[in-house]
Amino acid sequence: MTAAGGILLAAMLGTTTATATATATATPAAPQRPAAAADCRPLAEASAQAQAVVNAACSQLGVPYSWAGGSIHGPTYGKDYPHGGPGSHDSQVKGFDCSHLVQYAAWQGAGIRLPEGSWNQAQWQGATARFDRGQGTAPLQPGDLVLWARDPGNLGTVHHIAVYLGGGKMVEARESGTRVMVSTVRLNAQYAGAIRITGGGGGPAPGTKRYVTWGTGVNLRAQPSTRSETKARLNGPTSVDVQCQKHAEPVEAEGHRNDAWSYLPAYGAWISNIFIDDPKAWLDVPVCDF
């Protein structure tokens, strides 16, 4: 995405105070030394999609925790925790909080776009299976998301989330002053069960690569031109599967200009790359031959 797109996206999709506050209330515990990279991997049989989620999370092992930090693209600077303590300078720390590490792993590993905030992720309607606290870890598979809540019977109070590895282990961004680490799943009074996000056929369509859009009221065109017929309109950030791209009519935003357009076969329509949330203006997909 262009620099202008990045500026606009940051303004529109910034982490809310509520999200950051909820993340910061994870059950306190003594800092743990990060595990060796070899310890962070699927520890049981799992689908290729679930393994990819685990591998994406494990790729960030050792990255600092940063309150409200992280995005689907990687670590970012967080926010200063307003109640002091180790997180009081997290605006100077580039890393992840718990929900953004999970969001990163789901997107980078499987093209699954999870919502912001651990409590919203816990209630995500795209979950393919749910497990309550009474089941413990026995039915869980690598790639499942394990949850902790102030009231384990109310997923709206979930304040911490992590990626399950198997064998009672998980990878998590735990709290300020620590780094992304492998831990033993804490089956304590706040354990709220788990959800499965894989296995729903939600991966990119064959021959495409998944991206997410930004902005509201984004028009998808019959041809790569703003003067062409509008075939669909995206009301908010949306996962889209891109088949290919081409240079066509330039589109301008905030003084920046981009002439790249991408073809979305699911819509039979084109979108200006300005509205695709990616650091690159020219995406990692082939050039269209039509």
The residues annotated as belonging to the active site are 98, 160, 172
Using the Cα atoms of residue 145, residue 150, residue 151 and residue 155 in order, give the sign of their dihedral: negative
Query: How far is residue 73 CA from its own chain's centroid?
Result: 8
C-beta separation of 71 from 24 below 8 A:
no
Residue 206: count of CB within 10 angstroms of its CB: 8
d(CA 262, CA 124): 28
Buried b / exposed e along 31-48 (16+ C-beta atoms within 10 A) = eeebbeeeebbbbeebee
C-beta separation of 172 from 183 below 8 A:
yes
Q: Nearest Cα to 160, choosing from 28, 11, 6?
A: 28
Query: How far is residue 143 CA from its own chain's centroid?
Result: 13
